């Protein structure tokens, strides 16, 4: 769906989406996933805590390059069971020209748990 086709939402609608900054503290391969993915542990600050996520980002990242990286996560979606793993937050990104996800990032460091405004 292009931006021109997207429905117009209100500020109140936007505020319902809770997007927080977190730092990846652990990343490991997820061999049980149907598509190549990593299991991530993300520090989302004292209010949200440590949360797990599964992310199909193996094309551009290795576990070593992910640890310490700040990411933007939707924290108020329901958890999703992916095989034996329970993904608790959605890590955001956008597809490159080939459809491989590039993580959304910030221009500079901010405290974990800060909400996207």
Proportion of the chain above pLDDT 90, given as a percent: 94
Please, is 7 exposed, middle or buried when counting C-beta atoms within 10 Å of its C-beta (0-12, 13-18, 19+)? exposed
Tell me the mean pLDDT in the region 33-57: 97
CA nearest 33: which of 51, 55, 16, 5? 55
pLDDT band at 5 (very low <50, low <70, confident <90, very high): confident
Tell me the mean pLDDT in the region 40-54: 98
User: Which tens digit of pLDDT belongs to each residue from 50-93?
Assistant: 999 999 999 999 999 999 999 999 999 999 999 999 999 999 99
The answer to whether residue 2 scores a pLDDT higher than 70 is: no
Domains detected in the chain = 18-103 (2.40.50.140)
How many helices and strands (H and E) does the chain possess?
Answer: 3, 9
Count of C-beta atoms within a 10 Å radius of residue 23:
18
């Amino acid at each position: 769906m292009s931006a021109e086709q997207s429905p117009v939402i209100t500020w109140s609608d936007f505020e319902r989406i809770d997007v927080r900054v977190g730092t990846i503290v652990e990343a490991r391969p997820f061999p049980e996933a149907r598509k190549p993915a990593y299991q991530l542990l993300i520090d989302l600050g004292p209010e949200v805590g440590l949360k797990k996520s599964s992310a199909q980002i193996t094309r551009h990242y290795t576990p070593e390059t992910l640890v310490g990286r700040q990411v933007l996560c939707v924290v108020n979606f329901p958890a999703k069971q992916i095989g034996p793993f329970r993904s608790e937050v959605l890590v955001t990104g956008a597809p490159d020209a080939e459809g491989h996800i590039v993580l959304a990032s910030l221009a500079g460091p901010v405290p974990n748990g800060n909400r996207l405004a």
